């Protein structure tokens, strides 16, 4: 199938594009910077210049495609790239461009916890993006993954150095009891590929979590074991301290002192609600890897340690 992928240069997008090419699809990647696709994938793919906030560029990019996979999303706001614009407006732009240019099949990336009543702006605007997709009348499938990990992620690779290098203890903001279903990026890529090839998935919403549920504390412990710091104790810091720290990080990012805040107040708000589904909903016959997430959590970090330059170039984590 001739597929256009938005967000194809990001963490999930890089793995997904590789998976789609391997499955025999003809893939084009919409990129703000054409150089960002160079040497990124296992095989060359077409690059189309465009920005999801620029409707004209989207319409041009859609010409001749049979399906669109819309992955673009952010976890912190930066300049024009606000949550509302990037999740609601961009989804509307993609849908409008599809209606204008022809392709009807849309795979839309949302997130577990998306909801009008979500505690975070991220979750509320993800819900607004889903609404834009549903109202478009296109042949859409929506995906809501829990936290995704794998080579190049921004999750294990953010937590692992904290676990490893923080002297004496591992700082955890809040009570550490929020539940997650970490899912491998390879599983996410497989589920998208399966849905693309099955018309029966049109109109469905899939909750994509890994095979096990972990509290935040348990995730820290798994990572601690993987990096050889099993005995380091977890110390819980109050939420107000987390908010104070996050506000400083956000200010530093606004002033251009750092590229991206490693923690935001919006992320802390999302920690007030579990990020786990009662039951995974996957496309028919789609299967998650049978290997335990524990092994993956460790292996994704050890891969990262062995190949840091490769991972750095493949990673543009939010
Ligand atoms: N990672 C997770 O744990 C997780 C969990 C649940 C859901 N999700 C969702 O999955 C999606 C992908 O996440 P990710 O972790 O792969 O994020 P990522 O690594 O930050 O990738 C974001 C992608 O969006 C692109 N992008 C940003 N602004 C754009 C714009 N204005 N126009 C066109 N492209 C733009 C980036 O391209 P540039 O190269 O130009 O920056 C990059 O390719 C997001 O929607 C996210 O909310 C992720």
Quickly name the fold that domain 2-152+181-210+275-288 has: Rossmann fold (3.40.50)
Average pLDDT, the chain: 90
Instruction: Tell which residue, 282, 288, 281, 253, has the closest CA to residue 267.
Output: 253
Quote the CA–CA distance of 27 and 46 in Å, as a whole number. 7
pLDDT band for 285, please (50, 70, 90 cuts): confident
Query: Is residue 55 within 6 Å of ligand 1 at its C-beta?
Result: no
Query: Is residue 52 within 6 Å of ligand 1 at its C-beta?
Result: yes
In this prediction, residue 154 carries a pLDDT of 87
Instruction: Tell which residue, 164, 171, 173, has the closest CA to residue 270.
Output: 173
125-165 pLDDT tens trace: 999 999 999 999 999 999 999 999 988 888 888 888 899 88
Q: What is the CA radius of gyration of the chain?
A: 19
Quote the CA–CA distance of 109 and 90 in Å, as a whole number. 12
**Nearest CA residue ID for atom 40, ligand 1:** 32
Q: State which ligand 1 atom lies nearest to the alpha carbon of 152.
A: 19
Q: Assess whether pLDDT exceeds 80 at residue 32.
A: yes
In this prediction, residue 312 carries a pLDDT of 36
Q: Assess whether pLDDT exceeds 80 at residue 239.
A: yes
Query: Is residue 145 within 6 Å of ligand 1 at its C-beta?
Result: yes
Q: What is the mean pLDDT of residues 250-278?
A: 93
Domain boundaries, the chain: 2-152+181-210+275-288
Q: Assess whether pLDDT exceeds 60 at residue 307.
A: no
**Nearest CA residue ID for atom 21, ligand 1:** 10
93-104 pLDDT tens trace: 999 999 999 899
Q: State which ligand 1 atom lies nearest to the alpha carbon of 32.
A: 40
Q: Of 184-193, 241-250, 298-307, where does mean pLDDT reach its minimum? A: 298-307
- Beta-bridge partner residues of 205: 142
Q: Assess whether pLDDT exceeds 80 at residue 108.
A: yes
In this prediction, residue 301 carries a pLDDT of 53
Q: State which ligand 1 atom lies nearest to the alpha carbon of 75.
A: 47
């Amino acid at each position: 199938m001739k597929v256009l992928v938005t967000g194809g240069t990001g963490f999930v997008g890089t793995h997904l594009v590789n998976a789609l090419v391997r499955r025999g699809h003809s893939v084009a990647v919409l990129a703000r910077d054409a150089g960002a696709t160079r040497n990124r994938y296992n095989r060359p793919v077409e690059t189309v210049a465009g920005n999801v906030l620029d409707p004209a560029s989207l319409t041009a990019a859609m010409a001749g495609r049979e399906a669109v996979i819309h992955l673009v999303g952010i976890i912190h706001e930066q300049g024009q790239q606000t949550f509302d614009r990037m999740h609601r407006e961009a989804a509307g732009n993609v849908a409008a461009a599809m209606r204008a240019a022809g392709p009807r099949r849309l795979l839309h990336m949302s997130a577990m916890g998306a909801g009008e009543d979500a505690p975070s702006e991220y979750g509320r605007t993800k819900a607004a993006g889903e609404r834009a997709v549903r109202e478009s009348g296109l042949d859409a499938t929506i995906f809501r993954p829990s936290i995704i990990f794998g080579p190049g992620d921004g999750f294990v690779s953010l937590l692992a150095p904290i676990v490893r290098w923080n002297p004496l203890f591992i700082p955890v903001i809040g009570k550490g009891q929020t539940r997650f279903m970490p899912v491998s990026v390879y599983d996410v890529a497989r589920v998208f590929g399966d849905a693309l090839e099955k018309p029966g998935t049109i109109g469905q919403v899939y909750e994509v979590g890994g095979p096990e549920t972990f509290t935040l504390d348990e995730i820290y412990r798994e990572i601690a074991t993987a990096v050889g710091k099993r005995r380091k104790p977890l110390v819980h810091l109050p939420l107000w301290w987390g908010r104070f720290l996050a506000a400083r990080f956000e200010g530093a990012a606004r002033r251009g002192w750092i590229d991206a805040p490693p923690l935001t107040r919006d992320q802390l708000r999302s920690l007030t609600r579990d990020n786990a589904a009662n039951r995974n909903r996957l496309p028919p016959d789609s299967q998650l890897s049978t290997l335990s997430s524990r092994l993956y959590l460790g292996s994704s970090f050890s891969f990262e340690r062995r190949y840091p330059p490769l991972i750095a170039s493949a990673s543009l984590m939010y």
